[in-house]
Amino acid sequence: MSRDETWRASGRGVCLLTRISATVRTPSGDIAAEPYTSSGTSYSQFAIIQVGVNQFRVTRVVG
């Protein structure tokens, strides 16, 4: 995916998510973001945020 691009799925039924991972491409190379983990969530909106120099995290979007 390109910067600022949104990935959308047509649906996931009743499946609960337990982990979402991401790899961010940077000029320094590919960096694994800290994944979002849960015992099982039905939330459907997530984002990758930068939390430091070459540090990223997958987080749930609230509101």
Question: Which pLDDT belongs to residue 59?
Answer: 96
- The range of the structural domain enclosing residue 10 comes to 1-63
Question: Which pLDDT belongs to residue 23?
Answer: 95
Question: Which pLDDT belongs to residue 30?
Answer: 96
Domains identified in the chain, total number: 1
How many C-alpha atoms does 58 have within 13 Å on its Cβ side?
Answer: 18
| pLDDT tens-place string over residues 13-60 | 788 999 999 999 999 999 999 999 999 998 889 999 999 999 999 999
Contacts of 59 (CB under 8 A, 6+ apart): 36, 46, 47, 48, 49
Alpha helices, DSSP H only, in the chain? none
